[in-house]
Amino acid sequence: SLIAILAACSSGGSGGGKEATKENPLIIKFSHVTAIDSVKGKASNRFAELVAEKTDGRVKVEVYPSSQLYGDADELDALVSGNVHMIAPSVTKMVKLDPRWQYVDMPFLFEDEDHARKFFESDVAQTLLNSDQLANNDIMGLAFWENGFKHFSTSKHPLQKPEDFKGLKFRAQAGKVLESQFKALGAGSATISFGETYAALQQGTVDGQENTFNNFDTQKYQEVQKYFTLSEHGRLDYAIFVNKPFWEGMPKDIREQVEEALKEATDLEWQLASDENKKSFENIKNSGKVEVLELTKEERDAFVKALQPVYDEFGDTITPELLNGIRDLK
Ligand code: LMR
């Protein structure tokens, strides 16, 4: 797109070093893949406003939503090369740099929202944000942003028990853990970027998907899916990543103001995640287009059992340290 080309042309590697004034502000390019009215869309726009307020217009955050600048496949590369300065991907998409980020996909690892938030603020979470794997690629993580629990959906038939997945094909975000999850259920999967998922569901390239209420609703999957199972089998959360040389090259006073804005935006984002997911759940139920299925305790247990092989296969990769660290926070 024209926007992508213009943005690529105007981005020096190190906007961070220059003097920033109201007339000639320092630009932070922030790229993401979800809709403007999604949790992440709303929170990133609010972040941009807070930065403008706190820096008195000396820093301008340019938010590019809906994969319009970079999609899943290339936003991380764009961050490494400094073509964008900030991204907030679903953390599993960091698998290329550090496979431990797939902790988020480990089946039924998190009890509830509170458990996820305790994790975001924990020391184990900090070790992921500040890892050598990221630093070696000129990236650092600054904060966790929440979305919520994922649920399964399909256009085919109700998904009430593991056997119902046999022979179906699902869209996955990234990584081997999700592939293993669907395999354990007897299903196939394909990694498809977020921006292409609606079309893949519509055209029947895949039969189903998994996502949060809010992503489902703001992508209008109601139009292309029929059965929605309240499974809460895994999570979808974000972290804010920045290009490290750019970040560290910002004048200290300015960086501190931007950090303050991020802290406020993060509080707000957590609130949005819970409010907007609740609203989206209502929208899904009221759409009249999707049958919403609940799982009994026994049905849920059957999924827990069926997905145990994912732990056998990936426990070591995610590391016992991280998995136990998360479990200990319950
Ligand atoms: C997805 O690909 O389903 C999500 O990661 C999109 C997002 O950023 O929430």
At 17 the pLDDT is 53
| Any atom of ligand 1 within 6 Å of the Cβ of 215 | yes
Positions of the chain with pLDDT lower than 50, given as ranges:
1-14
Best of 90, 105, 272 for a ligand 1 pocket test (most atoms within 8 Å of beta carbon): 90
Question: Measured in Å, how far apart are the chain's first and last C-alpha atoms?
Answer: 45
Q: What is the pLDDT of the chain when averaged over all its residues?
A: 94
At 205 the pLDDT is 97
Ligand 1: centre distance to CA 233 (Å): 16
**Cα separation, 239 vs 326, whole angstroms:** 16
- List the one residue out of 275, 30, 50 whose CA is nearest residue 146: 275
CA-closest residue to ligand 1 atom 1:
194
The model's pLDDT over 92-117, given as tens digits with 9 standing for 90+, comes to 999 999 999 999 999 999 999 999 99
At 38 the pLDDT is 96
CA-closest residue to ligand 1 atom 2:
194
Ligand 1: centre distance to CA 118 (Å): 22
The model's pLDDT over 160-190, given as tens digits with 9 standing for 90+, comes to 999 999 999 999 999 999 999 999 999 999 9
Ligand 1: centre distance to CA 33 (Å): 7
Best of 95, 173, 235 for a ligand 1 pocket test (most atoms within 8 Å of beta carbon): 173
Best of 151, 236, 240 for a ligand 1 pocket test (most atoms within 8 Å of beta carbon): 236
At 19 the pLDDT is 79
At 73 the pLDDT is 84
CA 193 to ligand 1: nearest atom: 2
At 12 the pLDDT is 41
- List the one residue out of 224, 226, 232 whose CA is nearest residue 277: 232
Task: Give the SS3 label for residue 90.
Answer: strand
CA 209 to ligand 1: nearest atom: 3
Other C-beta atoms lying within 10 Å of the C-beta of residue 325: 17
Q: Which residue spans within the chain are E strands per DSSP?
A: 26-31, 59-64, 86-87, 139-154, 169-172, 188-191, 208-211, 227-243, 291-293
Ligand 1: centre distance to CA 241 (Å): 15
Dihedral (CA of 164, 166, 167, 169) sign: positive
